[in-house]
A and B are shown apart, each in its own frame.
Chain A
Amino acid sequence: MKIIACIKQVPDSEAKVKAENGQVSWGDAPLVINPFDEYAVEGALQQKEAVGGSAVTALCIGPESAKEALKHALAMGADEAILVSDAALGTIDSVGAAKILAAAIQKIGADLVVFGRQTLDNGAGVTPPQTARALGWAMLGLAGSVKVEGSAVTVERVLEEGRQIVKADLPAVVSVVQSIGEPRYPSFMGIRKASKANIPVWSLADLGADAPSAVVTRSELLAPPSRESAVEIISGETSAEIAEKLADKIIAEKVL
């Protein structure tokens, strides 16, 4: 089975992200593989282990620096990695990204494509269903478990009301959530292999794709409203006294 894991590189969640001249800046904070996409790689590797003769390709659209995120996927155990990078992709929206991913997935060839739930920076969670739509493949989103049997895949989707068990024929697109299991740590051997890996970079021309024009564009970047005051510590002689005071404070907030 040919499996593709789609990953993105993002600033670490500890990064102090700011707006600077209308651009997002994160200083010299490290860039990492999107944490949700570590689950995508983990999910892909689980399927590789479950179905004999499988291989995992990690796929990313991003700048040259995103090779580091792909190397993380290789170190976890992915067999190969491909970076799609092109100056014309600087301002794509998620539909555009999905179309480019779909073109790359077609070129690589796949039975199963595994996505993360959402990115840390954009956080939309729309790229997986949009890619599935662009490919015309089944979308099985927010899977807490994935099982491939023969030419079909069954997942348990983690939804607001509980779990929905859904089955589709391959090829299919899945996105995975945390319940599939903690991402494995890169092994020593994996890190060595990844550091030597040669990661091909594909341009739009290599994909035979035109630069997509963005429908959704950013017009402004704002800092969130800052939280006003320092915390008010409620104290008292006894727990009962503290509880009384705290309950009064909360009731006075009129939030109940």
Chain B
Amino acid sequence: MKTFVYIDHFKGEVQPASWEALGLAKTFGEAFALVFGAGAEGVAQSALEYGADEVLFADDASLSDYRAELYAATLSALAASHNPNLILFPTTSRAKELAAMAAVDLNSGAMTDLISLEADGASFVGARPIYEGKLIEKITCAASPAIATLRGRAFPKPDRQEGKSGAITKVAAAGEAKSNVEGYATAENVVNLGDAGVIVSGGRGVSNNPALTPPADLDEKQAEIWRAQQGFALVTELAQTLDGAVGASRAAVDGGYISYAHQVGQTGKVVTPDLYIACGISGAIQHLVGMRNAKVIVAINKDADAPIFKAAKYGVVGDLFQILPPLTAAFKKKLGK
């Protein structure tokens, strides 16, 4: 059995679910890692260390920025010449797009966001949540190569063997560019909710501390945002103490408290951390669908009837401004930070 694994990276920073895909590929047999991008030698070496038997490395200058058509054509050409049985991708923005396009190029189909994947004779059977996680479907990809994207954190990450050597084979780019990358705007700080093991999220409640007095020159809306920023400072401090990421409800994002990249839920990110702490979030269905598969959910909310408590394992009925500072302090002490 031969599996291709697409390693998704941005300027050398690998999306960790790529390694999880490599780990799964090894359980099926031979694993080829695909690393695209000029200057990505470091990624190619890491792919060997995470278990790839061989790396197919396309470092043509035309591939220095991710561009859908060139990357997809390069990938499809490699698949046509190497005939893998299966192509795996992490479920990231770029990789999902490539999986989709490769499915068209290779007359196959894409099974996305899988939480399990097994070989069944010559075909593959995957399981994936549908209807916002209200159901799970098992699906089969009848064509070869089968194409699948794996949900982050659903498969174990393989151990890294530092310094492991192996073949890094240079391969050519293919296809015709249809777009040009004009630049990057990284004003929004990088938020990698998909890979975070711990997420501490804030909702509309983070702006609700009447005891705080905003600077006098702010209008009502600015004062609300100012209050919310004090609340998010507490959320962020707890997240940092737990080496976690900061999430938010849509109300917090729409209120201008924090950027869209932090939003968890139906129109934001679907996350599956080991620990999710919801602070001042009511638990609307559109928020719950984004986080209810977290292993342990903790809710801090003033309102004992808030629906978030139905999803939570532990709850505190109280004011987040009262609870978060001693909670962060308790963790600092107990975790020796």
User: Which A residues contact B (CB, under 8 angstroms)?
Assistant: 11, 13-14, 16-19, 24, 35-36, 93-95, 98, 120-130, 132-134, 137-142, 144, 154, 156-169, 172, 177-179, 214-224, 227, 229, 231-235, 239-240, 242-244, 246-251, 253, 255-256
Which 7 residue pairs are nearest across A and B when measured between Cβ atoms? Answer: A215-B109, A243-B326, A216-B109, A126-B100, A138-B178, A162-B186, A255-B274
Closest to A251 in B: B334
Complexed CA–CA distance, A229 and B181 (Å): 50
Please determine whether B267 and A178 come into contact, CB atoms closer than 8 angstroms.
Answer: yes
CB pair A223 B181 closer than 8 Å: no
B311 touches A120 (CB 8 A): no
- A residues within 8 A CB of B243? 256
**In the complex the two chains form, is A221's CB within 8 Å of B137's CB?**
yes
B113 adjacent to A123 (CB under 8 Å) = yes
The interface of chain B, by Cβ under 8 A from chain A, is: 10, 13, 15, 65-69, 72, 92-94, 96-97, 99-101, 103-105, 107-113, 125, 127, 129-143, 178-188, 190, 192, 194, 197-198, 242-243, 260-261, 263, 266-268, 274-275, 285-286, 289, 292-293, 295-296, 298-299, 304, 309-318, 322-323, 326-327, 329-331, 334-335
Determine if B179 and A140 form an interchain contact, defined as CB atoms under 8 angstroms apart: yes
Chain B residue contacts of A132, Cβ below 8 A:
68, 101
- What are 6 A-B contacts with C-beta separation under 8 Å? A126-B100, A162-B190, A164-B184, A215-B108, A217-B142, A256-B275
Say which residue of B72, B125, B198, B266 sits within 8 Å of A120 (CB atoms).
Answer: B266
The minimal Cβ–Cβ distance linking B109 to chain A, given in whole angstroms, is: 4
Is there an interface contact between A217 and B139, defined as CB atoms closer than 8 Å?
yes
The answer to whether A138 and B184 touch across the interface, beta carbons within 8 angstroms, is no
- B198 / chain A contacts, CB cutoff of 8 Å: 255-256
Nearest B residue to A247, CB-CB: B330
A224 in contact with B312 (CB, 8 Å): no
- Closest Cβ of chain B: how far from A115's Cβ, in Å? 12
**CA distance in complex: A53, B11 (Å):** 41
Q: With A and B bound together, what is the CA distance between A231 and B275 in angstroms? A: 15
Q: How far is the CA of A166 from the CA of B180 in the complex (A)?
A: 6
In the assembled complex, how far is the CB of residue B321 from the closest CB belonging to chain A, in whole angstroms?
9
Instruction: Return chain A residues, CB-CB under 8 Å to B293.
Output: 224
CB contact under 8 A between A243 and B330, given known A129-B101, A139-B101, A229-B313: yes
Residues of A contacting B143 in the complex (Cβ-Cβ under 8 angstroms): 215
* Contact, CB under 8 Å: B139 / A224: no
- Which listed residue, B134, B309, B311, touches A224 by the CB 8 Å rule? B134
What is the chain B residue whose CB lies nearest that of A217? Answer: B140
**B182, A154: Cβ atoms under 8 Å?**
yes
Bound complex: CA of A243 vs CA of B274, how far in Å? 19
Known: A160-B194, A166-B179, A218-B138. A133 touches B100 (CB 8 A): yes
> Which single member of A164, A214, A232, A240 contacts B314 (CB below 8 Å)?
A232
- CB contact under 8 A between A249 and B314, given known A35-B266, A166-B179: yes
Complex: A178 Cα to B265 Cα, angstroms: 12
Is B10 within 8 A of A123, CB to CB?
no
Q: Smallest CB–CB gap between B334 and chain A, Å?
A: 6
Known: A216-B109, A218-B138. A231 touches B314 (CB 8 A): yes
Given A160-B93, A162-B185, A239-B323, A167 contacting B299 (CB threshold 8 A): no
Residues B133 and A162 in contact, CB atoms below 8 Å apart: no
Q: Which residue in chain B gives the minimum CB-CB distance to A241?
A: B326
Question: What residues of chain A lie closer than 8 Å to B13, measured between beta carbons?
Answer: 161
**Interface contact A95-B103, CB-CB below 8 Å:** yes
User: What is the chain A residue whose CB lies nearest that of B197?
Assistant: A255
CB of B135 within 8 A of CB of A223, answer yes
B308 CB, nearest partner CB in chain A, Å: 9
Give B92's nearest chain A residue, CB to CB.
Answer: A160
Q: Across the interface, which residues of B come within 8 angstroms of A250, CB to CB? A: 275, 296, 298, 314
B132 touches A13 (CB 8 A): yes
Query: CA–CA, A178 to B269, complex, Å?
Result: 12
8 Å CB contact of B99 from A126, A127, A141, A169: A126
Residue from the list A154, A160, A164, A214 in contact with B15, Cβ < 8 A? A160
- One of A133, A141, A251 near B105 (C-beta < 8 A): A133
Q: Would you call B266 and A98 a contact (CB within 8 A)? A: no
Distance in Å from the Cβ of A201 to the closest Cβ of chain B?
26
With most chain B CB atoms within 10 A of its CB, the pick from A14, A179, A216, A247 is A216
